[in-house]
Structure 1
Amino acid sequence: MTGEISALACAFTWAMSCTLTKSLAPRFHPLTLNLLRCLGASFIIWALIPFYPGVQSLFQARPASVIFLIASALLGICVGDTIYIQALKIIPVTLAFPLAQASMPVFTLIAAVLFLGEPFTGGLAMGTALVIGGIYLIAGPQGPAAAFPRPPTQQGNGRGIGLILIASVLWTFSISFLKLGLQGVNPVTANGIRLPVSCLFLIPLAFGRKATGVSSKPAVREIFLGALSGALSFGLGGVLFLLSIQYAGAGKATVLTSCAPLFGLPLSALFLEERVTLRIRWGTGLVVAGIFFLL
C-alpha cells in the first residue's frame, strides 16, 4: 500500500500547488512561472540531499539511470509542459485540462503493460475507467458555452487538441523513463538530478521570450508563493510521485495521481470561491469508487 498511499498524497499535494498556481497565473508568463516553480523545488531538494540520502548518492547513481532521469525531465517537465502551455493559448483550459487528465493515464497504462511488464488486471481496468470518467465530470466542460468561452476555429481547435495529445504522449515516455531511471536510485536523488536539468532548459526560454501579457512586475510575495507552489508540486509531490512509481508501478501511480482535481474541490471552494455543482459531486463519487478498485 506504500505506493498507493504515496500516489494519493501526491495528488493532494498537487491539488494544493494547483490552487496556488491558478491564483498566480494572471501575474506571470507561463514559462516564467514554470521556471520559478522548478527553482523553488530545486532549492528544497538540494537543501535536503546533504541530510538525506547524502551527497554521495548523486555519485552512486548508475550512468544509465542518470540518462533516463535526464530524458524524463527533458520530455516531461520541459518539452511536454511547454507544449501544454502552448495548447492553452489555442483552446480553453476547460477542454485542455480534462483531455490531458484522461489521456495521460490511458497512454501510461498501455505503455506500462506493453513495455515495462506491469500486470493488467480487471480491477485496474475498472478503477482506471471510473477515475477517468469521474475526472471528466469534475474538470470537464459544463456545456457548449463553458467549453468555448470564445468562438474557436475548427483548425485552431484541432491543433490545440493535437498539442494536448502530443504532450500526453511525451509525459507517458517521461514516466516510463522515470520507472527505468529509478532502479537503484533514491527518489530525492532522482529529483535532485531532474529539477536542475529542467531549470537549465527553461532559463533561456523564460528570459528569451517577449515581455507581453503581464501589466506589471509581480510582488515579492507573489514570487515567494510561486516558488512555494513548485516546492509542493515538483519537490514534495515529485518525491511522492516517484515513490508511488517505485512501489505501485507507473500505470497505477499515474491513474491515482490523476485524482488531484478531487482534492482540489474543497481547496477551490474555500480559497477561490468556486461553486461545487451536482455534476462535480457525481464525478467525485466515481473517482472514489475507482480508487476503491485500485487499492
Structure 2
Amino acid sequence: MLGEVAALLAAFFWALASILYGRFSHHFSALQLNLIKGAIASSLMLITLPLLPDVNFDLSKQHMFILLLSGVIGIAIGDSAYFASLKRIGVNKTLLLESIAPPLSGILAVVLLGSLLSWQSWLGVVITTFAVALVVMQPETDKQAVNITGIGFGLLASVCQASGVVISHYALVAGDIEPLLGALIRLLAGVGVIFLMLVVLKRKELVGIANGFAKLASREFALLLLAIIVGTFLTLWLQQVALKHANPAVAQTLIATSPIFILFFAIAKGQIPTIKTLSGTVLAIAGISLFFIFR
C-alpha cells in the first residue's frame, strides 16, 4: 500500500510541476532546464539524506552501476526528451504520449525481472492508461501542423521512463536501498551526463544558463524553485519509494495519472471539463481502485 500511495502523491506533485515547468520552456532549452532542476534538487537531497535515520550507504558496485544506468536512461535522456516534447507540443499531448509508459513497464518487468502482475493489476493498468489517454486527448481548437519532432521526443521520453523505473526497481529491492539515496544516485548520474553533453556539444547553452536566470523576475525564480522542489526533489523521492514497495508497472501507472490532477487544477481555476474528460476521470479512479482492492 505504501508504494501505491507514494506513486499517487508523486503524480500530484508532477502535475503541479508540469504546469510550472511549462512557464519556463521558452526561457531555457530542454538540456538547460534539466541541468538546473537536477543540480538544485540533488543539492536538496544531499542536505536531507544525513537527517534520515539508519541510512545504509554501503552499496554493492553492481547496484550502484544499475542505479547510475537508470539515471542516465530515465533522467539524462528521458527527462530531456520530456522537456523537449513539452516545449514543442504542450503538456496535454506530451502526457498522452507518456501514457504508454505503464504498460511498457509491465512488459519490461515481466521480460527482465520475471515480475508478474495479478489479473486485477493488469486490468488496472489497462483501464487507468486508457482513462488517462481519454482525459488528455482533447480536440484541436486550431489546425496546426503535426509536430513530428515533438511526438518523437515524447515517445523517447516514455520508453526511457519505462526502462529507467524497471531498472531502478530491481536495484532498490535487491540492494534494499534507501529510496532517497537511490534518487540521489540516479539524479547525480543524470546531471553528470547532461553537464558533459553541454560542455562537449553545446557549450554556448551552458554559458547561456546565467543569461536565462538574469531574465527571470524574482516571482518567476520563486516559481521555478517551487517547480524543482515539488517536481524533482519530492517527486523523484516518492517515485523511488513507489518503485521499492510496488510493482514497477503499478507504480508507473499511478504516477502517470498526473493529467487527472491537472484536470482538478483546471476545475479549480473555473474551467468546465467536457463529458469525455469527466468520463475519463471516473474511469481512471475506477482503474486506480483496482490496485487497492483484492489485496
The answer, yes or no, to whether TM exceeds 0.5 is: yes
Q: Displacement, 1:254?
A: 0.5
Following the alignment from structure 2 to structure 1, what is the Cα–Cα distance between the partners of residues 51 and 91? 40
Query: What is aligned with 2:123?
Result: 126
Following the alignment from structure 2 to structure 1, what is the Cα–Cα distance between the partners of residues 42 and 97? 29
Letter in 2 for 1:191: A
Could you say what the CA RMSD is over the residues aligned between the two structures, in angstroms?
A: 2.7
Query: What is aligned with 2:256?
Result: 258
Query: What is aligned with 1:196?
Result: 188
Q: Displacement, 1:257?
A: 1.0
**2:166 is equivalent to residue 176 of structure 1:** yes
**Deviation digits for residues 36-60 of structure 1 (CA, Å, limit 9, x no counterpart):** 2222311221111111146x733x1
**Deviation digits for residues 118-172 of structure 1 (CA, Å, limit 9, x no counterpart):** 22222112111211111112112x22x34x75223xxx53x54344333322222
Which piece of structure 1 moves more, 197-206 or 224-233?
Answer: 197-206
**Deviation digits for residues 32-87 of structure 1 (CA, Å, limit 9, x no counterpart):** 22222222311221111111146x733x1111111111111111111122233444
Following the alignment from structure 2 to structure 1, what is the Cα–Cα distance between the partners of residues 154 and 266? 24
Q: Displacement, 1:189?
A: 1.1
User: How many residue pairs were aligned?
Assistant: 284
Query: What is aligned with 1:13?
Result: 13
Following the alignment from structure 2 to structure 1, what is the Cα–Cα distance between the partners of residues 240 and 150? 29
| C-alpha contact (below 8 Å) 1:112/1:251 kept by paired residues | yes
Matches within 5 A, 1:154-165: 157=148, 160-165=150-155
Q: Displacement, 1:22?
A: 2.6
Query: What is aligned with 1:279?
Result: 276
| C-alpha contact (below 8 Å) 1:36/1:227 kept by paired residues | no
Matches within 5 A, 1:85-234: 85-88=83-86, 91=89, 93-100=91-98, 102-140=99-137, 142-143=138-139, 145-146=140-141, 149-152=143-146, 157=148, 160-182=150-172, 183-204=175-196, 205=198, 208-209=204-205, 217-234=215-232
Q: Displacement, 1:289?
A: 0.4
Query: What is aligned with 2:32?
Result: 32
**Structure 1 unpaired stretches of 5+:** none
| C-alpha contact (below 8 Å) 1:14/1:260 kept by paired residues | yes
Residues 9 and 43 of structure 1: is their aligned pair in 2 closer, same or farther, counting only changes over 3 Å? same
**Structure 2 unpaired stretches of 5+:** none
Q: Displacement, 1:222?
A: 2.1
Q: Displacement, 1:247?
A: 1.1
Following the alignment from structure 1 to structure 2, what is the Cα–Cα distance between the partners of residues 94 and 265? 10
| C-alpha contact (below 8 Å) 2:30/2:84 kept by paired residues | no
| C-alpha contact (below 8 Å) 1:72/1:177 kept by paired residues | yes
Which of 234, 237, 244 matches 1:236? Answer: 234
Matches within 5 A, 1:41-52: 41-52=41-52
Q: Displacement, 1:223?
A: 2.6
